Amino acid sequence: MNIARLRRLGRRLGELAKAVDGEGQPLLTPGEEAVFEDVLRHPGSAVGEIQARTGFAQSHVSASVARMRERGILETGPDPADGRRTQVRVADVAMHWLFRRATTPVEEVVRRAMPDPADADRAVALLKELETLLITDDSHGAG
């Protein structure tokens, strides 16, 4: 395997994970996804703080927050310490959806993508082995 094939494999695994995203929840644009992930990691942030961390223009962050608020994904409210400041957080319904998605067994997703059950079982076993080898407490994506 070379780096190009590794990237292709990574994209395919990402596609499989995103296939679950489309079930029961609207898909996010790449920009919305970046804003959402920042809010998830930093609840109660102001738009300016999200902008500083993501590097997006403030108008883009504001528009993304507004769209996701309209769809019930994010919530906004006044900062109790400074009423002029608006805080952004992930809506409870979105947190429940994230938990359901995160706990979806990989077997279901892989079996839908592979017609041969034996191949699907082997792929799941290999993915579990890769997880053991590559995902540690110190690695990127640990969680």
Which domains are present in the chain? Answer: 31-104 (1.10.10.10)
Per residue in 40-83, pLDDT tens?
A: 999 999 999 999 999 999 999 999 999 999 999 999 999 888 88
What Cα–Cα distance (Å) separates residue 7 from each residue in 20, 44, 128? 21, 34, 19
Cα separation, 118 vs 104, whole angstroms: 20
Report residue 23's pLDDT band, with 50, 70 and 90 as the boundaries: low
User: Sign (positive/negative) of CA torsion 64, 54, 137, 140?
Assistant: positive
Please report the pLDDT score of residue 26 as a whole number. 56
Average pLDDT, integer, range 94-114: 86
